[in-house]
Amino acid sequence: MNIVKRHIKNPILRPQDLEPAIEGMEITCLLNPGVFKMNGKIWLILRVAERPRQVEGKTSFPILESGKIKVLTFDNNDPDLDLSDPRVIAYKGQNYLTTMSYLRLVCSDDGINFYEDPEYPPIFPQGPQESFGIEDCRVATMDDGYYLTFTEVSPVAVGVGLIVTKDFKTYNRVGMIFPPHNKDSAIFENKVGDKYFALHRPSSPELGGNYMWVAESPNRIHWGKHTCIATTREGHFDSARLGAGAAPIKTEKGFLEIYHGATKENRYCLGALLLDLNDPTKVIARSKEPIMEPSEAYELTGFFGNVVFTNGHYLDGDTLHIYYGASDEVICTAEVSISEILKTLN
Ligand code: MAN
């Protein structure tokens, strides 16, 4: 299927386009941006992953301890060290991340050429529940502010945090709204009846799996009535894991959600789900084939190759501008027609 048109200038942002924000670190990856509009501009809230420059034979990475950055270093010859996944360090039953992620804002007039505005400082991880970093921020633009849902990572948990802001200068850090193990949460921008809804992705390793769920809330802080709406499918692009992208798009046919699906070989593609406008726990249709899969050089190889991953887009008429992380290293954009996606969901 070829309904997605990648921008000719891809990748539009690479690690070398920004200066590291943590002293003594370098930027290893730019990933998976949330997208929103503010002051007539298009903004990305990037996930930036940093670590110290690596020394031959050693693996060094930052963590947050008592509000300060601390660098841990392992000897690569240590027989207890498992470095088989470039994202994770496994050591004596404990997992660490090879980089520390934080969130950083860039803006543009055209959706392609992004730059930083020094008036909008990065959002850094804070406190013990974010000591390994914060990742993959979704932005729900609502009447009373922007609702940011993102992954909080620490040795005790991977869960979903919420921050509310009106201006991206002052922040209300609400805390963890979906407890471990949970990620990939996107709040719907529209209420259904008098309730708020959110997609989220708990993991239940023994019974169940990495499935997409929907929950409702009277206030966007306390969530309940959890319902599983999409499970993994053997033999498909989403056979091992799936999770929500950005806030669903309200269309005449239903809420359209662009989501990611992965195989156990960690190939990440994008698919679509259509949910009932009056009852988002009802799935009307789901992609059989991915609407986008890794195919370009920058999507096939990089920090973690074979990955296209989105959690941000903006809509212009029928055209959806998708922003995505490619190979967990660079930021790209592509266009797709909403009506074309809907046609594939018949
Ligand atoms: C997980 C998350 C994403 C990342 C993919 C691929 O789903 O950590 O941020 O892009 O894995 O590595």
Which has the closest alpha carbon to 326: 283, 346, 289, 297? Answer: 297
pLDDT for 337: 98
Q: What percent of the chain has pLDDT over 90?
A: 98
Looking from the CA of residue 260, the nearest atom of ligand 1 is: 7
pLDDT for 2: 78
Using the predicted structure, report yes or no on whether residue 129 has a pLDDT greater than 70: yes
State whether the beta carbon of 32 lies less than 6 angstroms from ligand 1: yes
Q: What is the CATH number of the domain that holds 149?
A: 2.115.10.20
pLDDT for 27: 98
User: What is the rounded average pLDDT for all residues in the chain?
Assistant: 97
Ligand 1: which of 264, 299, 328 to mutate, most ligand atoms within 8 Å of CB?
A: 328
Half-sphere exposure for 145 (CA within 13 Å, toward CB):
15
Q: What is the mean pLDDT of residues 205-212?
A: 95
Which has the closest alpha carbon to 104: 186, 175, 174, 15? Answer: 15
Using the predicted structure, report yes or no on whether residue 141 has a pLDDT greater than 70: yes
The per-residue pLDDT for range 169-195, each reduced to its tens digit, is: 999 999 999 999 999 999 999 999 999
State whether the beta carbon of 268 lies less than 6 angstroms from ligand 1: yes
Evaluate whether 159 touches 129 at the Cβ level (below 8 Å).
Answer: yes
State whether the beta carbon of 257 lies less than 6 angstroms from ligand 1: no
State whether the beta carbon of 178 lies less than 6 angstroms from ligand 1: no
Sequence letter at residue 167: D
Domain that holds residue 44: 5-344
91, two tokens: 């050591």
pTM of model > 0.85 = yes
State whether the beta carbon of 31 lies less than 6 angstroms from ligand 1: yes
Looking from the CA of residue 268, the nearest atom of ligand 1 is: 6
Find the DSSP H helices in the chain.
297-300, 338-344
Dihedral of CA atoms 149, 150, 154, 159 in degrees, nearest 10, equals 50
- What is the bridge-based pairing of β-strands 330-337 and 5-6? antiparallel
Using the predicted structure, report yes or no on whether residue 198 has a pLDDT greater than 80: yes
Q: What is the mean pLDDT of residues 36-59?
A: 97
Q: Got the DSSP string for 159-211?
A: EEEEEEESSSSS-EEEEEEEPSSEEEEEE-SS-BTTBEEEEEEEB-SSSS-B-
- What's the domain count of the chain? 1
Q: What is the mean pLDDT of residues 245-263?
A: 98
* 307-to-14, 67, 224, 284 alpha-carbon distances in Å: 15, 32, 32, 27
The per-residue pLDDT for range 95-123, each reduced to its tens digit, is: 999 999 999 999 999 999 999 999 999 99
Q: What is the mean pLDDT of residues 314-343?
A: 98
d(CA 330, CA 327): 7
Looking from the CA of residue 304, the nearest atom of ligand 1 is: 12
Using the predicted structure, report yes or no on whether residue 346 has a pLDDT greater than 80: no
* Residues paired with 162 in a beta bridge: 149, 175
The per-residue pLDDT for range 56-84, each reduced to its tens digit, is: 999 999 999 999 999 999 999 999 999 99
- Ligand 1 center from residue 214 Cα (angstroms): 20
- Ligand 1 center from residue 278 Cα (angstroms): 31
**How confident is residue 1, by pLDDT bands cut at 50, 70 and 90?**
low
- Ligand 1 center from residue 240 Cα (angstroms): 13
Could you give the 3-state DSSP secondary structure of residue 90? strand
Q: Which residue lies with its CA nearest to atom 2 of ligand 1?
A: 136
